[in-house]
């Protein structure tokens, strides 16, 4: 959440201001809904990482996973946001770059926390 806030509320403030036509004004949205959805998304992200964990090179596997998720989000939602809403190409590109960097970091964080379960030992008789 802190990374997202820093990027979207600090670094990209000017980009958002230039896109004001397609963005809800102050008080028009509910931050609680956004935070709840993000929390669900973070749990889904971590769960998906655990399900696809291949035992790779530590942070590299997390970063690779995050970049793949970012590319999926960019191509399935980000580009369509550009097509449907009045977003400039520059704004769409900045968001795409942000997604790749942010999700690579999220992947490395999840990788640093995740510990795969120990292999089960068979009870051969």
Q: What is the pLDDT of residues 45-99, one digit of tens each?
A: 999 998 888 887 778 999 999 999 999 999 988 887 877 777 788 888 888 998 9
- The structural domain count of the chain equals 1
Q: Which domain holds residue 92?
A: 44-115
Closest CA to 90 of 34, 28, 32, 19: 19
**Buried-exposed string 57-77: b where 16+ CB fall within 10 A, e elsewhere:** eeeebbbbbbbebbeebbeee
In a domain, 59, yes or no: yes
In a domain, 100, yes or no: yes
Interatomic CA distance for residues 23 and 52, integer angstroms:
35
Element (H, E) at 34: helix 31-52
pLDDT for res 124: 59
In a domain, 92, yes or no: yes
In a domain, 35, yes or no: no
Give the pLDDT confidence of 21-43 residue by residue, as tens digits: 655 556 555 667 777 888 899 99
In a domain, 2, yes or no: no
Give the pLDDT confidence of 90-114 residue by residue, as tens digits: 888 888 998 999 999 999 999 999 8
In a domain, 120, yes or no: no
């Amino acid at each position: 959440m802190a990374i997202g806030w820093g990027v979207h509320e600090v670094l990209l403030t000017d980009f958002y201001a230039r896109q004001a036509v397609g963005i809800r004004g102050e008080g028009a949205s509910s931050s609680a809904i956004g935070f709840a959805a993000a929390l669900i998304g973070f749990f889904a992200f971590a769960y998906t990482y655990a399900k696809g964990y291949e035992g790779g090179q530590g942070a590299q596997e997390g970063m690779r996973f995050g970049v793949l998720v970012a590319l999926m989000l960019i191509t399935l939602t980000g580009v369509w946001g550009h097509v449907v809403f009045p977003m400039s190409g520059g704004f769409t590109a900045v968001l795409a770059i942000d997604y790749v960097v942010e999700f690579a970091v999220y992947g490395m964080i999840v990788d640093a926390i995740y510990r795969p379960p120990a292999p089960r030992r068979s009870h051969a008789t």
